[in-house]
Structure 1
Amino acid sequence: MLMRMRSSAAYLALFIGLSVTLAGCGYVSEIRAMKAFKDGNKAYASSDWRVAVNKYEAAAALAQSQPDCQWCPAIWFYLGNSYDNLYRPARKGEPANDALLQKAVDNYTVASEKLTEETVPKRSLALEFLVATYGPDKLADPTQAEPVVQRMIQLAPNEPTNYFQLAKIYEDSGEYQLAEETYLKGRDAKPSDPMVYLTVAGYYNRQGDFDKLIQNIRKNIELEPNNPEAHYRLATYSWDKASRDFRLTDSQKREIILDGLNSVDKALSLNPDYIEAMTYKGLLLRTQALIEKDPKKQQDLIREGTALGDKANAMRKARQG
């Protein structure tokens, strides 16, 4: 689950200075709700969650009678978030503590129903925080998170992150076909974004599908040809595969190693002082030495690989001072 600071300070700041402009409308309850909300905001900004809860609860009770209040939906978001901050994962199982999380869920749900994508905060933010309450350190109930994320996808069909969240739920539940399909939908939602290919590559790496992993890494490189890290990344996966997969023939290992060396050379051509790339080139050369039959070539590769490793270590120490 996507984790972020739960206080949502950036959104709160937009409310801290909110002025009361409702006197002429005659909405006494709304004015009182605004005052309670502003008092809650002050406590919230000071991380005084219990006081914030009390003030926001008062504001919510008053706002119930004001269905046309445009700013009021934010109350339920911050009320839910205050309960969320009061919850302690280390005390999971204690009824009073667990009740706090359920109240967070209830209020995030109300907020997601009342907010829109034009309000501050947005409805999608309330849904995002609601999904987080179903995470492993809280309610640990992915089945409840699934429909919420699907709703987020409906709200923002071109946002890959939502698809990836849903895909991870499927992956963690062992529904690998659904997971793969959903990861690919996320990738295809924004194919010009190089990062989506890394997310999909990560899935294939966890599944042990090297060919599809590399396909997505190559696509990332196509979109970022001048990024040394993109080329370096392919080299790291190449070394890992060649050095750890004992099912490979020497011919297969050689192909993977040479591909990795080509990539790491590209990374170093873009950044000659790339210490990590230098280190992996040394590792790849020494791994290549293991499959060579010619003793002289073996020694040459080992010597070059060791020299690169030593150079990388010396540069690392020099940078550390």
Structure 2
Amino acid sequence: MSTNSHRGGAMYRQLKPIKGPLLAVMVVVGLASTIACSKVDEFKSRMTFREANTAYQAADYKKAAELYELALQQNPALVDVLFFLGNAYDNQYKPALQGQPENDVLLTKAIENYEAASAKLADDTPDHKMLKIRSLQYLVAVYGSDKLDDPVRAEPIILRLIQNDPSDPANYFQLGQLYEGAGLYDEAEKAYTLAKQARPNDPNVYVQLANYYNRQGQFDKKIAALEERAQQEPNNPEAYYTMAVFYWEEAYRNPRLTESAKQTYVTKGMEAADHSLQLKSDYVEAMVYKSLLLRVQALIEKDPAKQQAFLRQADTIRDQAEAVRVKKATGVS
């Protein structure tokens, strides 16, 4: 009995809880060891990340992807890696080899990492916010016509970008191009119009809208957009030159125009070219199109004498344009 009691007491002494100062020391030592391991892993991952970035900048995307994967294994919390890993896979993909499993899997991995980056990156720093947006933008590109050609998958991502920054017209342009490519022209026009509303003082939104109308063959709407563009930058000669170009194209190339409409477009085109040259007298391109508009005017004119006068004026301006071009090219005054 006493022996058992002795043994039981020994066992009890062996199993009794550790407490007091000794417990505190053990906890601190254990915690320090964990922190040290964590810090070592974090340091290793940062060094690997740096090495991966060097390969990425050298366009060695295969090596970069391997190193980015290693950096994530060393520290899964290093979410900065995700965008670059996705892009390293993306850059290895070759559209000409679409259908080959080893090539297609690169886009699959790119999508996985772009999606992970957009989900895990917070908006806590400007760099994180930028990488998150870039991930969404490149994800849209993956679903573009030169890769997966999947507008259904691209649309919600673009809408998310718009929701993230409603004032950025670039996202509306992408949405407009998406709808236009799908033949949804009403939706496309609405998207380009929303870009104008998002940043009404930006001349480029009117240029993009005009280009859309140009592709759709809507001349009057195209000119209206270009006139709005000129209102936003009245001292830019290129704004008026662009109108002169489109007036000439319509007057010269549209066989369905009446003589009256053709004359109206030539007159307005000449006014736009003159305005451009008032702002920049040595604007060669504006001079060239003024000369071309004068030739269309000669075609409209019924009086032979006036016809020849217009043609002589056109030749004079053409020669002036050539002289200015040579002067600029050679630097000879």
TM-score, normalised via structure 2 length: 0.84
Cα deviation, 1:172-215, whole Å, max 9, x if unaligned, reads 11000100011100111000111110000000010011111011
Instruction: Tell me whether 1:30 sits opposite 2:37 in the alignment.
Output: no
Displacement, 1:102? Answer: 1.4
In the alignment, which residue of structure 1 is the partner of 2:82? 76
Cα deviation, 1:128-159, whole Å, max 9, x if unaligned, reads 11111122222222221111111100100010
Structure with max Cα Rg: 2
Cα deviation, 1:209-239, whole Å, max 9, x if unaligned, reads 1111011100111111111111111100100
The one-letter amino acid paired with 2:66 is: N
1:146 to 133, 143, 155: 155
Displacement, 1:26? Answer: 4.1
Per mean C-alpha deviation after superposition, the further-off stretch among 27-36 and 120-129 is 27-36
In the alignment, which residue of structure 1 is the partner of 2:127? 120
Secondary structure (helix, strand or coil) at the match of 1:73 reads coil
Displacement, 1:25? Answer: 9.1
Instruction: Tell me whether 1:47 sits opposite 2:59 in the alignment.
Output: yes
Cα distance in structure 1, aligned partners of 2:37 and 2:270: 72
Q: Percent identity?
A: 45
Secondary structure (helix, strand or coil) at the match of 2:183 reads coil
Cα deviation, 1:273-295, whole Å, max 9, x if unaligned, reads 11100000000011011111211
Instruction: Tell me whether 1:186 sits opposite 2:195 in the alignment.
Output: yes
In the alignment, which residue of structure 2 is the partner of 1:272? 281
Cα distance in structure 2, aligned partners of 1:204 and 1:248: 18
2:140 to 118, 131, 135: 131
The one-letter amino acid paired with 1:43 is: A
Judged with a 3 Å threshold, the aligned counterparts in structure 2 of structure 1 residues 140 and 28 are, in CA distance, closer, same or farther, namely same
Q: How many residues end up aligned between the 2 structures?
A: 294
In the alignment, which residue of structure 1 is the partner of 2:95? 89
Are 1:87 and 1:98, in contact at CA under 8 Å, matched by a contact in 2?
A: yes
Cα distance in structure 2, aligned partners of 1:190 and 1:163: 11
Are 1:23 and 1:31, in contact at CA under 8 Å, matched by a contact in 2?
A: no
Name stretches of at least 5 consecutive residues in structure 2 with no aligned partner: 1-33
Cα deviation, 1:34-65, whole Å, max 9, x if unaligned, reads 2322221222222222221111112223333x
Displacement, 1:95? Answer: 1.3
Secondary structure (helix, strand or coil) at the match of 1:225 reads coil
In the alignment, which residue of structure 2 is the partner of 1:10? none
Matches within 5 A, 1:206-217: 206-217=215-226
The one-letter amino acid paired with 2:58 is: S
The one-letter amino acid paired with 1:91 is: L
1:108 to 114, 123, 139: 114
Cα distance in structure 1, aligned partners of 2:187 and 2:211: 16
Displacement, 1:241? Answer: 0.6
Displacement, 1:92? Answer: 2.2
CA RMSD of aligned residues (A): 1.8
Cα distance in structure 1, aligned partners of 2:235 and 2:37: 60
Matches within 5 A, 1:285-296: 285-296=294-305
Cα deviation, 1:288-315, whole Å, max 9, x if unaligned, reads 1111121111111111112211221233
Displacement, 1:24? Answer: 6.6
The one-letter amino acid paired with 1:104 is: A
Cα distance in structure 2, aligned partners of 1:297 and 1:250: 17
The one-letter amino acid paired with 1:99 is: V
Cα distance in structure 2, aligned partners of 1:300 and 1:137: 52
> Which is helix-richer, 1 or 2?
2
Cα distance in structure 2, aligned partners of 1:55 and 1:81: 13
Cα distance in structure 1, aligned partners of 2:145 and 2:157: 16
Judged with a 3 Å threshold, the aligned counterparts in structure 2 of structure 1 residues 25 and 230 are, in CA distance, closer, same or farther, namely farther
Cα deviation, 1:60-106, whole Å, max 9, x if unaligned, reads 23333x4xxxxx22111010011112112232222111111111111
The one-letter amino acid paired with 1:155 is: N
The one-letter amino acid paired with 2:172 is: Y
Per mean C-alpha deviation after superposition, the further-off stretch among 194-203 and 289-298 is 289-298
Displacement, 1:119? Answer: 4.3
Instruction: Tell me whether 1:156 sits opposite 2:165 in the alignment.
Output: yes
Cα distance in structure 2, aligned partners of 1:171 and 1:56: 37
Per mean C-alpha deviation after superposition, the further-off stretch among 186-195 and 141-150 is 141-150
Instruction: Tell me whether 1:202 sits opposite 2:208 in the alignment.
Output: no
Cα distance in structure 2, aligned partners of 1:26 and 1:112: 25
Instruction: Tell me whether 1:252 sits opposite 2:261 in the alignment.
Output: yes
The one-letter amino acid paired with 1:308 is: I
In the alignment, which residue of structure 2 is the partner of 1:3? none
In the alignment, which residue of structure 2 is the partner of 1:58? 70
Secondary structure (helix, strand or coil) at the match of 2:292 reads helix
